Chain A
């Protein structure tokens, strides 16, 4: 599923017709050509009826879901993008809104798509009851993608919790392009760590220098992790640092990246949302766009944003 512009090695894709983009996102000429004016464009976001091909627990916290869609979603879905899942209504759970969920993987067949999720609330509890062979509607693909230049040499990925699922496709793409990876994985304990699920391919495992930190031994604490991340970035040149899923890690990386101004930093953000398409304005977060504080929609201008632009503490006055 490598999609590379003939004129550029930047593999990223803007939303089909969004005028806005994250404030420090690469300039338009570095991105793949946007589709023509939307009044003539065929629908690019659709509800896909899917069949559950596989669905099982990965460990005590996470579940794996593999779907077969009614369209070649693996071809049109890019790392960092997400879908809205119409979780089933069960005897005890009645989710009303769709649930945004980042894509864990696509392919090898053009119509298969994978999700990795944590059972936390009404929607995911209902989702967890889906049997293999059942149907599930998903809406997408939605959102923007990570920036990745295949000419780069080494990137760092800092993952915690379910953020791992969001970055797994990015890791696969980086590995396929032969980039070296510094992988920092943070988890509550060894049992929660999903090293194999994150690296997935032999290629990624061969290219990755993996560092695991845990809450159980204190190594994941900000005070312990900060010097370790600094040492890793000082020891080897990195072209980009990516993260997702932990506000604490995001803020830590923002501080660490201050002394590495040439390293690209990107985060896939999370926020409670309703429409997933940029309409309802419920999922906004605050960003510093060249000194101008702006609310941007996580579903539309994101979910991937420059780490440096994120405003940590929001004061609504």
Chain B
């Protein structure tokens, strides 16, 4: 039996499979043994209470879906009292995902949630930054550095920083997060998209635009993970369209130390268990003792790699 455990900074996970924030809630315990997962990542909480976006909040696309849920939240106190306890009873590390609209509010929220029962904090800096007219923090290296260093000053908890695939210059943004003290990078999130019903001429989402997820974005996410892997030394948690063990392996070979599974759970609530089984089977078939040795193990031709690097630098 292969060793499926992986290290994310100071944290050791029993295997590299965990849910993506927003695509997970404790209700999945009805379909899946949550003690089999590497970690439990709870849906993002924001310090300010909000109702979320208008319906319809979801629309189907080719090999994926668009969503505009809008991070409904009842604030940090309700979150700690009513939400967290449901997740901390499974003997699986719990990661809280935090979203906020200013660097200061981010730092404050992460400090408040630096609780003993919380194993790591995932800062979702893909959310709109009110100090930059709503542009996400992770769109630019400067605002990424500002937000992450503000958080870092206020918590000694393991800090994962979730970047957005909507940004260019992803290597520079990942480096900014590392320089500001992130312990890991989560790459990435949904890709901004839009769909229109040609019969009614109305947008298919109540909020007009939303995030595209599912297999449709997987190649894009694999590329971003690989670019980050080349740019930073801290671990990367890959995310985007993972449905099978092979998908997870692809992200690990590209440079991920662990993976998050999102939309696939909506199609099969037990899918994360199948992915864990599939990783163990792959290791057995290929005589791999430790799955962590696969991280970044994509077979690249050295000359081509140099050429690719020059191209990547030119195109950002």
Q: Which residues of A contact B (CB under 8 A)?
A: 16-19, 37-39, 41, 43-47, 86, 94-98, 122, 139, 271-285, 295, 300, 314, 316
Bound Cα distance from A139 to B24, whole angstroms: 17
Chain A's closest residue to B61 (CB) is: A96
Q: Known contacts A17-B30, A94-B62: does B267 contact A284 (CB below 8 Å)?
A: no
Bound Cα distance from A43 to B29, whole angstroms: 7
Residues of chain A lying within 8 A (CB to CB) of residue B57: 272, 281-284
Expressed in whole angstroms, the minimum distance between the Cβ of B213 and any Cβ of chain A is: 10
Q: Is B51 an interface residue (CB 8 A)?
A: yes
Q: Which residues of B contact A (CB under 8 A)?
A: 22-35, 43, 51-65, 67, 69, 72, 86, 89-90, 206, 214, 263, 265-270
Residue from A18, A97, A282, A285 in contact with B267 in the complex, judged by beta carbons closer than 8 Å:
A97
Please determine whether B53 and A316 come into contact, CB atoms closer than 8 angstroms.
yes
Please determine whether B89 and A281 come into contact, CB atoms closer than 8 angstroms.
no
Residues of chain A lying within 8 A (CB to CB) of residue B62: 94, 96
Residues of chain B lying within 8 A (CB to CB) of residue A41: 29-30
Please determine whether B51 and A316 come into contact, CB atoms closer than 8 angstroms.
yes
Please determine whether B214 and A96 come into contact, CB atoms closer than 8 angstroms.
yes
What 5 A-B pairs are tightest by C-beta distance, nearest first?
A282-B58, A282-B57, A38-B29, A279-B25, A275-B266
Bound Cα distance from A273 to B270, whole angstroms: 18
Known contacts A97-B65, A98-B266, A139-B269; 15 further A-B pairs (Cβ under 8 A)? A38-B30, A43-B33, A47-B269, A96-B60, A274-B58, A274-B67, A274-B263, A274-B266, A275-B23, A279-B265, A279-B266, A280-B266, A281-B72, A282-B56, A316-B51
Q: Is the interface of A mostly helix, strand, loop or mixed?
A: loop
Bound Cα distance from A87 to B60, whole angstroms: 13
Please determine whether B58 and A47 come into contact, CB atoms closer than 8 angstroms.
no
Bound Cα distance from A109 to B101, whole angstroms: 55
Bound Cα distance from A284 to B33, whole angstroms: 26
Please determine whether B67 and A43 come into contact, CB atoms closer than 8 angstroms.
no
Expressed in whole angstroms, the minimum distance between the Cβ of B22 and any Cβ of chain A is: 8
Residue from B22, B30, B53, B206 in contact with A43 in the complex, judged by beta carbons closer than 8 Å:
B30
Please determine whether B30 and A280 come into contact, CB atoms closer than 8 angstroms.
no
Please determine whether B270 and A46 come into contact, CB atoms closer than 8 angstroms.
yes
Please determine whether A277 and B27 come into contact, CB atoms closer than 8 angstroms.
yes
Please determine whether A281 and B52 come into contact, CB atoms closer than 8 angstroms.
yes
Expressed in whole angstroms, the minimum distance between the Cβ of A232 and any Cβ of chain B is: 33
Residue from B51, B59, B206 in contact with A295 in the complex, judged by beta carbons closer than 8 Å:
B51
Please determine whether A277 and B55 come into contact, CB atoms closer than 8 angstroms.
no
Please determine whether A300 and B64 come into contact, CB atoms closer than 8 angstroms.
no
Residue from A46, A95, A279 in contact with B27 in the complex, judged by beta carbons closer than 8 Å:
A279
Please determine whether B270 and A271 come into contact, CB atoms closer than 8 angstroms.
no
Bound Cα distance from A45 to B53, whole angstroms: 28
Bound Cα distance from A280 to B274, whole angstroms: 20
Residue from A47, A276, A278, A295 in contact with B270 in the complex, judged by beta carbons closer than 8 Å:
A47
Q: Known contacts A43-B30, A47-B268: does B67 contact A280 (CB below 8 Å)?
A: yes
Expressed in whole angstroms, the minimum distance between the Cβ of A77 and any Cβ of chain B is: 15
Chain B's closest residue to A315 (CB) is: B54
Residue from B32, B43, B55 in contact with A272 in the complex, judged by beta carbons closer than 8 Å:
B55
